[in-house]
Amino acid sequence: MQGLMQDYPLTVPHIFSRAEKLFPEKTVVTALPSGRERLTYGEWADRTRRLGGVLDTLGITETGRAATFMWNSARHLECYFAIPCTGRVLHTLNLRLFPEQLVYIVNHAEDEVVFLDRSLGALIGPLLPQFETVKHIVVVDDGKGDVPDDPRVLDYEEVLAEAKPVEFRVDDENRAAAMAYTSGTTGNPKGVVYSHRSTVLHTIGTLTADVLGVSEADTILPVVPMFHANAWGLAHAGVMAGSTLVFPGADLTPKHIATLIEEEHVTLAAGVPTIWMGVLPELEGRDLSSLRAIPCGGSAVPKALSEAYRAKIGLPILQAWGMTETSPIASTGHIKTSLRAGRSEDDLADIRAMQGLIAPLVDCRIVESGTVDELPWDGEAQGELQVRGPWIAKAYYNDERSPESFTDDGWLKTGDVAVISPEGYIRLVDRTKDVIKSGGEWISSVDLENEIMGHPAVAEAAVIGIRHEKWQERPLACVVVKPGESLTKEELLSYLDGRVAKWWLPDDVQFIDEVPKTSVGKFSKKDLRDRFADYVLPT
Ligand code: ADP
């Protein structure tokens, strides 16, 4: 017997028109150098429909790729909807990619137009001559910087003023809606293509209470960029739910973020750990009681950071895990009621330091490296984390490297090493490339870093494996000491003694000025390994 429901396509225009019809009075706030712009959803929707008209006038092909090189703003949100709602494909360019990577991805995606914030003109200007397929560069005036000198340049407001609003309609839910490229540390970035269906389902996922629980009552501050990993779905979720949206624009300084939270009464603010580390000293003397959740991911959330927020504002950080390939939300760290009972705050903080429970509709497994043999969820067995689901990529766009990342039975190989507890909590141990192999056992560089960063004098720490004759590899801790503090190797090792297994204790500690970062601000272990390539551990 078959169900008798309509086969109604899941498409982005539905998200758009829901906001347009139900929440025209709600606001989208954008911080600009001149002050905060406030637009109602009604005004935003009209502008977005006219932007659809602009795409027609500019002759962007029916399934053409339209790129954005923009900060988080209402203008970017206009692009987020006008492009897919007219059947085109939104390609968010990650501002933090290296120049040669940007040129590669624009040409690989065959972008026909680039929407550009004027403040980013200097960053992209020198690359424009190499963008082979780009016919137009539409510049948004976000208050700073120079318009690039290029004959293809148009002004966003001028073309919008001349355009007619268009009807939005997409019938095929499997049509591409957006794409983004990974920022991988080696090789060219790989393209991930999101469909209308995957976008809608991911949006619904973020609305569920135990994922991010986005609701109409929320005021959302996505610090996490719309140009990388889809602002964790918050732009779509906010529009679907009719939440107030607050965009920080180009100013991501801790003071500005804290001020926006306080003055706009933000309830949900999402960003990577480095953002919340920066904001921490800014909490002093402010009223941030409006906050109900601080989703954080992209790299491991140190327990000490989450606990510092709990101590200062009574709200620990909500850890989330995901990747460009997973749309990106794949797990969140809510604590089950059965795990709350009888546990100390410190134990609860340990649970929050994990990457959490897999999202509804997504499956996860851990497997023995290089096989599809599933390992038990016993909190001990470590293996590669693999996921599948309706918003998980199944291949890269036009890329022969796809087979390296997807199994024959349809799972994404995340490149993360994890254990899963009997209760189903994912705990990332390391990247497969970064795990330290000592005497046939694995040492988690991430766990060691977390413990080291728990030391009050430590600002940042990264641990890498150094070749060792007897043990194959041994850990070297690279530590950045906080300004005004001092720390010796002996002090750090005695602090770690008892906190980690004896055989995990780093063989040496190097004090460095800064941990090198990837283009998107994650610890670049590759650069650290290069720096210490000739380093010999003390015997
Ligand atoms: P890239 O574009 O560099 O691939 P992604 O945002 O897709 O950037 O990176 C995804 C990776 O980031 C994950 O595979 C994982 O290693 C890391 N990551 C994301 N969230 C977390 C988290 N909460 N804890 C630890 N690592 C995380």
User: What is the tens place of the pLDDT at every residue in 305-353?
Assistant: 999 999 999 999 999 999 999 999 999 999 999 999 999 999 999 999 9
pLDDT digits (tens, 9 = 90+) for 14-32: 999 999 999 999 999 999 9
The ligand 1 atom at the shortest distance from the C-alpha of residue 518 is 3
What is the distance in A from the centroid of ligand 1 to the CA of 49?
Answer: 34
* Domain range list for the chain: 12-197, 435-531
Q: Of 51-60, 185-194, 260-269, 391-400, give the lowest mean pLDDT range.
A: 185-194
486-514: average pLDDT: 95
pLDDT at 524: 86
pLDDT at 187: 78
Protein residue with least CA distance to atom 26, ligand 1: 299
What percentage of the chain exceeds 90 in pLDDT?
A: 89
Protein residue with least CA distance to atom 6, ligand 1: 323
pLDDT at 469: 87
Top mean-pLDDT range of 155-164, 181-190, 403-412, 521-530:
155-164
Which tokens belong to 163?
């355009």
Phi, psi of 337 (to 5 degrees): -60, -35
CA 244, CA 75: separation in Å to the nearest integer?
A: 15
What is the distance in A from the centroid of ligand 1 to the CA of 173?
Answer: 27
Ligand 1: residues within 6 Å at CB?
Answer: 182-184, 229, 297-301, 319-324, 355, 414-416, 428, 431, 520
AA identity, residue 161 = A
- Structural contact between residues 273 and 302, judged by C-beta atoms closer than 8 angstroms: yes
- Structural contact between residues 231 and 258, judged by C-beta atoms closer than 8 angstroms: no
CATH architecture of 12-197: 3-Layer(aba) Sandwich (3.40)
What is the distance in A from the centroid of ligand 1 to the CA of 264?
Answer: 29
pLDDT digits (tens, 9 = 90+) for 181-191: 997 666 789 99
Protein residue with least CA distance to atom 4, ligand 1: 182
What is the distance in A from the centroid of ligand 1 to the CA of 523?
Answer: 11
Q: Which of 405, 416, 446 to mutate to test the pocket of ligand 1 (most atoms within 8 A of CB)?
A: 416
pLDDT at 185: 63
Protein residue with least CA distance to atom 10, ligand 1: 323
Indicate which residues carry an active-site annotation: 182, 325, 437, 442
pLDDT at 186: 67
CA 502, CA 510: separation in Å to the nearest integer?
A: 19
pLDDT digits (tens, 9 = 90+) for 349-400: 999 999 999 999 999 999 997 788 999 999 999 999 999 999 999 999 999 9
Q: Which fold has domain 435-531?
A: GMP Synthetase; Chain A, domain 3 (3.30.300)
CA 64, CA 53: separation in Å to the nearest integer?
A: 14
The ligand 1 atom at the shortest distance from the C-alpha of residue 94 is 2
What is the distance in A from the centroid of ligand 1 to the CA of 9?
Answer: 31
- pLDDT at residue 515 is higher than 90: yes
Average pLDDT value over all residues in the chain: 95
